[in-house]
Structures are given as structure tokens and as C-alpha cells.
Amino acid sequence: MTGTPNITFTKPAIPARGSLMVLLDDTLSLTGIASELDRKLNGAIARSISTAEYKAKAMSTLEILSPGDGKYDRVVVLGLGDAGKLTENDWMRAGGAAMAALPGERQATVLLVRPDGRNIRGREAASFAAGMKLRSYSFDKYKSKPEGKNSDGGKPKPVRICVGGHAAARRAWAVEDAVTGGTILARDLVNEPANTLGPIEFATIAAELSSLGIKVEILTEEHMRGLGMHALLGVGQGSERPSRMAVMSWEGGRKRTKPIAFVGKGVVFDTGGISLKPGAGMGDMKGDMGGAAAVTGLMHAVASRKARANVVGVIGLVENMPDGNAQRPGDVVTSMSGQTIEILNTDAEGRLVLADALHYTIDRFKPQIVVDLATLTGACIVALGHDHAGLFSNDEELTGRLTAAGKATGEKVWPLPLGPEYDKLIKSKVADMKNIGGRWGGAITAAQFLKRFVGETPWAHLDIAGTAMDSPATEYSRSWASGFGVRLLDRLIADCYEG
């Protein structure tokens, strides 16, 4: 990643020169420091707004080059629309739009003052900064010459945000920057090509989180075989690269308090196995570890901000390949829970990884809740598109909390049903269950399968197939990998399980 901005917060003041950004709502009223700047520029901002018939619609920009006496390279006006209706996610969007509009090669100053006269809270300012940092992200480590105006060989871009209550903004940014760092880590992992990120390499990255105070254990195939994780191991048996499981523990809460747990699917590359996928688009399957990436990024975030909670992250890391030792359709495997599974489609492999990972996590840690994340089914994309992740749960309170966290962060989830009618679809004639449920309701039957491994523990499954990779571009994400899930789950922890 190149061009990450070096963001600082100061009290509102007009600099002597450089590039500036001011905010304007749909009233088109230049007030406060914006009015002062316009007077200094002999009315150049007001004239440009009038000449361009600029309406200050949300996230729109107006660029004024070398205004006034030429001391400023440019002034950029950023529209907010109705400033009274701005959400926290809108402030992040505004930060992304600001980063896109500001030049990459010079220091820039943002006059972050609400045009409606209301005070900007510390969290709003931090969200704005997070949007700037996330928009600056680009995965170009494999390009000999980084492209774009924001590519400068990795040098930090100095950005000064002038805001009232700058001390509160700094405090909020210390937390938000930690979460942003976790999102960037998740993006890096999903973007990384599979030839350089196998199960062992992924586990090594997880182990490096020990530098943040996280306890990390790496389970080898021998360990997992001894525990009876034959569902997980069956997925990886066709690959030359051995499977791994990483267990990450952050102990920031009270002693003897049950942890909250997160489990991620980490299929570093998914060919479909013997049930081989079509060739078109198979390259995208380097991102089939988006759930494990989100859990790893989340652990980075909670440790970096020193969350006052006990958090466990478990990721099952495998590669699904079709060699002579690969799992076959028709095979029966015994999971760690003792339940047997008939394999009818080797491309329905993520649920096998999660089955053992979920049982292991619940059996060992006895968590308050467990949430799993997985790029699990194309059926979820058919149902919800790329704007919401599918949410399945056995607990209404957890469903409500995840939905609220999604609305706050913009990482939205949508509840989908579970029930005995769907459970019937995964009954097997030769084993306790089969790993597919037929053509209809594929995302639901996959979640119904997972439900068999969680018992009475409050649990939620997030199908992030449509949101973790190749998701729609936003003001703060132009990356193929979005890092979806880190901000959502960190907010869930902060709002509901900390303290």
C-alpha cells in the first residue's frame, strides 16, 4: 500500500499557503472560517460557486485553481448536502471524497467546520479521517511502477485537519485509526495472490499479532488430526500445502469473564476440488479467505486500541485443490463434534472448515457469543447483491446488535431465516447430514448446516461473499478487497461487550 496520509488535528486556522478544502452544505452559506477564507481570496469561492451553479450536493466537489493572489495551489469545496442529516458513515464518505479531491504531492489542509454552525464531534472528525485513510489505500506491491496521482513511493502524505475540539478529535482518532489499520490488514490479506499466501504464510501473519499483546497458537495438521477435525482436514487433503488453524486471544477484559468469539473461513484458494469450478472468474477465489482476513483484522484492531474485552479469534486455513488425494463426492467424514457428514459437492467446502472451527471454539472457550464470517455462498449474492451481508442467527438479541452495528458503520447486514423446514434439506441417507441442500435457498441451507455445530451458544453467521471482495466502489473504498467485517464487529464489541 502506498500514499497513506499522515493525519494531524489542529484548531481551526487558515494556513498561509498550500491546498485547502472547505465544507459547504446545500444552503450554500459561507460562514465562519469559510467566510473568512473567502474574504482573504477576494470573494473567489463565492464567485466560483455562482459561476459553476454549484449546489453542494452530498460528496460533490468544486475545484478552484490558484485563487486570489496565487498563494494557494487550489481550494476545493466539498458538498455535504443536508448537513443536519449526516451520519457517522456519511462523515467517513466525506473523508473519502476529500482524499480523492486533494492533490497527492503536496501538504493539504482541511477546514473541518460544519457549515450549519453545529459543533463537529470527535467521532465525526475521526470518521472523516478514517475515510481519507481508507480512500488512499491501494494494493500495488507487485507493480514495478505504482500508478495514480496518490502514488509517491510509500511516503506519508501530510494532511492537516483543522477542527474545533481538536483534542477530542485526536482521542477519537487514536481509536478509529486502530480500527482502520485492522481494515487495511484485512484488505491486504484478501488482495494477496494465493501463490504467496498459503495456509502457512497466513498463519505466520496471524502469529505476528503477538507483538500487539495477542496470544497466538498455531495448530498443525497433526494437532488437528488428534482433535478429530476431519471435516476441516478433508478440504485440504488434495493440496500440497498443509492446513493450519490460528487461535488468537486478546485478554483486555475482566478475568474469568467469558470471551466473545469470532471464527473465520480461510480457504486461501478454492478450485472447488473434484467438483471443479468453471475457469471463468476462478482467479477471484484467492479471496475465499475473506472471513479469516476479517477476523485477523479485527484482532489487530481490538489489540491496537486496547479494547476492554476478552476476544477470541479462530481461523481455519486450507487450500481446496483437486489432486489424486483430494476428497471425493460421496465420501463421509467425521467432524470434531462426532457428527458425520456426507460430501456430495467438494465445492461446498467452507462449511466443513467452519464446522470444526466452530465446535473447537465453543468447546474450548465457552464464549458468551460466537460469530462466524465466511465468503460462503454465491446464493447469498443472488439474494442480497453486494450491499448487504447475509445474517443468520439463533439469537434475536445478537441479531439486533449486529444490525445496529451495521447501520452505524455502513457495513450492513440483512437477517435471513432458519428453520426446521430448511434443516430437512440437509438430511442424508448415509450420514448425519449432507453438505449441500439442493438448488433452492443455498445460503440458508449452508447456515442451517453450521447451526448443527453451535448447540445453545448464541451464534450468528455472516455470509460475506458479496461484500468482502469485488464489492461496489464507495467514497472510501476503491479496492477489490473491502475489508468488510472489521469495523462492523469492532463496533459490536465496543457498543455491547466492553467495560
Side-by-side strand order, sheet with 260-270: 215-219, 244-251, 310-320, 260-270, 370-374, 459-463, 389-393, 413-415
Q: Give the C-alpha separation, 493 to 485, whole Å.
A: 12
352, amino acid identity: L
CA distance 476 to 466: 17
| Catalytic residue, candidates 244, 351, 451, 491 | 351
The answer to whether the CB of 416 falls within 8 A of the CB of 440 is no
* Annotation marks residue 277 as catalytic: yes
Give the C-alpha distances (Å, rounded to integers) separating 182 from 18, 106, 259: 31, 27, 20
Q: Which of 76, 77, 95 is nearest to 25 (CA)?
A: 77
- Single out the catalytic residue among 171, 225, 277, 306: 277
Q: What one-letter code names the amino acid at 347? A: D
Residue length, the chain? 499
Q: Which helix (H) or strand (E) holds 377?
A: none
Asked if 58 contacts 90 with a C-beta cutoff of 8 angstroms, the reply is yes
Distance of alpha carbon 400 from alpha carbon 376, whole angstroms: 22
- Calpha distance 369→396 (Å, rounded): 12
Q: 447 near 392, Cβ under 8 Å?
A: yes
Known catalytic residues are 277, 351
